[in-house]
Homo-oligomer: A and B are copies of this chain.
Amino acid sequence: MEDFKEIVDELDELIKKRDYYSIKTLLKDIEPADLSLLLQEFPNKIATLFRLLPKDLAAECFVEMDTDYQETLLSSFTDNEMKEVMEELYIDDTVDIIEEMPANVVKRILKNSDSETRKTINEILKYPDDSAGSIMTTEYVSLDEDITVEDALKRIRRTGVDKETIYTCYVTKPDRTLLGYVTAKRLLLSDDEMIISEIMETSVIYVHTHDDKEFAAKEMSKYDLLALPVVDQEDRLVGIITVDDAIDVIEEEATEDIEKMAAIIPSDKPYLATSPFEIWRKRIPWLVLLMLSATFTSLIITKFEGNLIIDGSTVLIAFIPMIMGSGGNAGGQTSVTIIRGLALEEIKLGDIFKVILKELSTALLCGATLAVATFAKLFIIDKWILRNSEIDIFVALAVSLTLLVTIVASKLAGCLLPVLAKRLGFDPAVMASPFITTIVDVLSLLIYIGIATSIIH
């Protein structure tokens, strides 16, 4: 962070002095990810600065930039400049950029690509947004099964420079059916005369173009893959997903789940680039829905408040928020644990009985702890020490018992609802804390009223 501020200041100085030679020297050794952040600090000079970069660094830096800046740059490019940058990009990055650009910019990009690239881009653009096909690259190394290791290495040397990875090479039939793969490591460690079909691995993990990209990323994580082949409906190889893109998907999906758990409609736009109005649109639907469902609690309280008033004392009513809060927290703990377990496939649908048993036992432990703590607090501190006349053993019993039952009910709801959602084909993440809280609020009120009525009246 300190370094970054220093470089920003240094660049600022150099820009003021118009010392373009020094700027060039300064910029050329910065990592693309850092360079993009640096250039974005100078929005008015971004096109000028960009033109000072060597061609390959310019392209790598361009990929890392925020969409707004990419658009600014693209609009400032001449056709020739655009062509130069586009030629340096890997095809999956080009597609990512195109997906975010307005129509007129897309038109110009396509106009300035060669016809083969244009065709590939259009192919990839056809895959649904969340599919494996949408994040794959078509630039991979493919080998025939009957060539030697020596020929394979020659082929890699000849064609490898434009490929995003050369470390996993795919062995295909002439019609592009996937036969197997061979890693660069295997190639380098094998004798030159060996035939590819003798050394290739034939049990290949692959996905289809229309599989979910989250599934693809999970397969790569599960099998520790650097690249994952993507095949079409006829099992012909059409592209590969590289591990850096899989990491992005894993991070995005975790963020999405976290947002859903917090009752937010997920968005893939960075927070700071999102307008308050857009944020409002992502947050208000759940707020309204949860508020409306919370009016049930008002209804219940209005209808049964008589049961919670003893000889004119409203002491029981004062405990409602504490009981609801504890139930909500306990249910939230469970639901979030189960949702994450389902997402990471640590918990499968078939484990439901194990899960229920575990949560039931945990709930009894947690509920008993809270009940005993509350009973002790009410009976010893409030009644004996503070001599609060509104608290008696029945009040203490009613509140403690309610806590116990509420915690058990909340934790059961917390594990059943996500599993139920999953079984019905919904995303379990939606069943997280706020949703559980609303259900638990109603449950705990009913439990409280029931227990209070039978103990006290």
Q: Chain B nearest CB: distance from A25 CB in Å?
A: 13
Interface locus among A108-116, A132-140, A216-224: A216-224
Verify B31–A441 contact, CB threshold 8 A.
no
Report the interface size class on chain A: 35 or more
CB-CB under 8 A from A105, the residues of chain B are none
Q: Give Cα distance in the complex from A257 to B336, angstroms.
A: 11
Verify B301–A340 contact, CB threshold 8 A.
no
- A283 close to chain B: CB less than 8 A: yes
Q: Give Cα distance in the complex from A247 to B224, angstroms.
A: 9
Given contacts A326-B294, A336-B258, contact A276 B319 (CB under 8 A): no
- A284 close to chain B: CB less than 8 A: yes
Interface locus among A42-50, A79-87, A343-351: A343-351
Q: Which parts of A291-317 form the interface with B (CB within 8 Å)? A: 291, 294-295, 297-299, 301-302, 305, 314-315, 317
- A254 close to chain B: CB less than 8 A: yes
Verify B184–A291 contact, CB threshold 8 A.
no
Q: Chain B nearest CB: distance from A311 CB in Å?
A: 15
Q: Give Cα distance in the complex from A438 to B324, angstroms.
A: 11
Copies in the complex: 2
Verify B291–A325 contact, CB threshold 8 A.
yes
Contact among B185, B314, B433 for A262, CB-based, below 8 A: B433
Q: Give Cα distance in the complex from A279 to B357, angstroms.
A: 13
Q: Chain B nearest CB: distance from A286 CB in Å?
A: 7
Q: Chain B nearest CB: distance from A30 CB in Å?
A: 8
Verify A205–B31 contact, CB threshold 8 A.
yes
Instruction: Kindly report which residue of chain B lies nearest to residue A349, judged by CB atoms.
Output: B1
Contact among B226, B299, B369 for A288, CB-based, below 8 A: B369
Given contacts A226-B226, A271-B337, A276-B361, contact A437 B284 (CB under 8 A): no
Instruction: Kindly report which residue of chain B lies nearest to residue A403, judged by CB atoms.
Output: B291
Q: Chain B nearest CB: distance from A268 CB in Å?
A: 11
Q: Chain B nearest CB: distance from A378 CB in Å?
A: 10
Verify B333–A319 contact, CB threshold 8 A.
no
- A280 close to chain B: CB less than 8 A: yes
CB-CB under 8 A from A445, the residues of chain B are 321
Verify A287–B324 contact, CB threshold 8 A.
no
Cross-chain pairs A/B with CB under 8 angstroms, 20 sampled: A29-B203, A31-B223, A157-B188, A165-B185, A258-B258, A258-B261, A261-B261, A262-B337, A264-B337, A271-B358, A272-B355, A276-B362, A283-B362, A291-B322, A294-B326, A297-B322, A305-B317, A314-B314, A325-B441, A433-B433
